[in-house]
Amino acid sequence: MKIACVGGGPAGLYFALLLKLRQPEHDITVFERSSPGVTRGWGVVFWADLLERLHRSDPVSAREVERASFSWVDQVVDIGGRQVLTRAAIGYGIMRWRLLDVLAARAMGAGVRVEYDHEVTSRSQLPAEADLIVACDGVNSRLRESSQGIRTEVHVGANKYIWLGTDKVFDSFTFPFVQTEKGWVWAHAYGVDAGSSTFIVECSAETWSGLGFATMSHHDCLSNLESIFRRQLEGHRLIGQTSEKVNAEWLNFRTVTNDRWHDGNIVLAGDAAHTTHFTIGSGTKLAIEDAISLVENLQRQDELSQALDAYEKERQAVTAYAQTAARSSAQWYENVARYADLEPRQFSALMSRRSSPLLPQVPPQVYYWLCEASRAGAGARRRVRPKLRKIYTTVRGRYQ
């Protein structure tokens, strides 16, 4: 087949690489609008399960990704200057440009053509003889929008966020929460290499507006955020982008869902097919798993339409679960003030359970003690019951 991949992100590059390795007879071209090494964002995060999957699929690129990654096992929640340290699953951070560089070099070495500085906004710009078009052109996918059979819904989150970096290395995945005169501001910080970390700042729209970020210059924005997180940054600076071409922007997260993932010979993958809120750290994992699934279904099925149907069914089931968890996670962060009066240990515990659909329906202290009781023995549960009744009586009116 002659295959065109539109978008040189993780989904497009890994799909092209895997298919070329397994079926080298295919003619595969990746069209990427940016220049080599130029990408929006900073570092991305993934977990040990994805690294294991990469090693099974292509050990060569997996080893390079692992060497270029920064790992941690601890999580630190810093709420108002009081820290809670917990042991988490093994996590990895990597500069986004570095991940793409590894995948692109490996794909080109396998025989894939990668055309940089080549933006594609419509089907007519692609070779007419293309048998398959993989649309990996991101959350604002032009190919998706021009396809009649793909019905897209976009939900815009309430919070504002900005994706920054810093030259401070966070050895643990760190969540600093700082109360300002206009409300809470917090960050998601994790190391991505030996000299830098991702630092995503988030807050409510009201706090963002109240602190003046709506009208602030980029330089003043970074300066003010450095002041807010002075204690956590310890004199280190915040950095807008790895590329000088564009500054980081305050955004509202956009959750994309699609009724169908393919229309004719156009099929979606990565953020064009789905997005999951960054607070669950699954975007890169899901994009690469899309690529693996699409390759495997193309190999299993005799007909292209059957392969695309099977891929769509398989991946929609997986991403539906992830998006449900991500929505609950995003809503927890949209209601940080609801939990901020808890003791730090309680706050951290509920943050770790933020994907629970029950949590927003129950007073926070009651939910915390219910979780504690569920882990305790029968005797301990009897001792907890009076405390639960007292807490519930005290706080139920507050959260109705």
Sign of dihedral through CA atoms 86, 224, 69, 95?
A: positive
pLDDT of res. 256: 97
pLDDT of res. 382: 59
pLDDT of res. 372: 84
d(CA 273, CA 269): 5
d(CA 314, CA 7): 22
pLDDT of res. 400: 45
Flag residues of the chain having pLDDT under 70.
242-246, 376-400
pLDDT of res. 390: 59
pLDDT of res. 375: 74
pLDDT of res. 377: 61
Structural domain spans, the chain: 2-70+93-156+254-332, 337-399
pLDDT of res. 248: 82
d(CA 356, CA 348): 14
Q: Name the CATH superfamily for 2-70+93-156+254-332.
A: FAD/NAD(P)-binding domain (3.50.50.60)
At position 327, the amino acid (one-letter code) is R
Strand segments, DSSP code E, in 183-322 are 183-193, 196-203, 238-239, 254-258, 262-263, 266-268
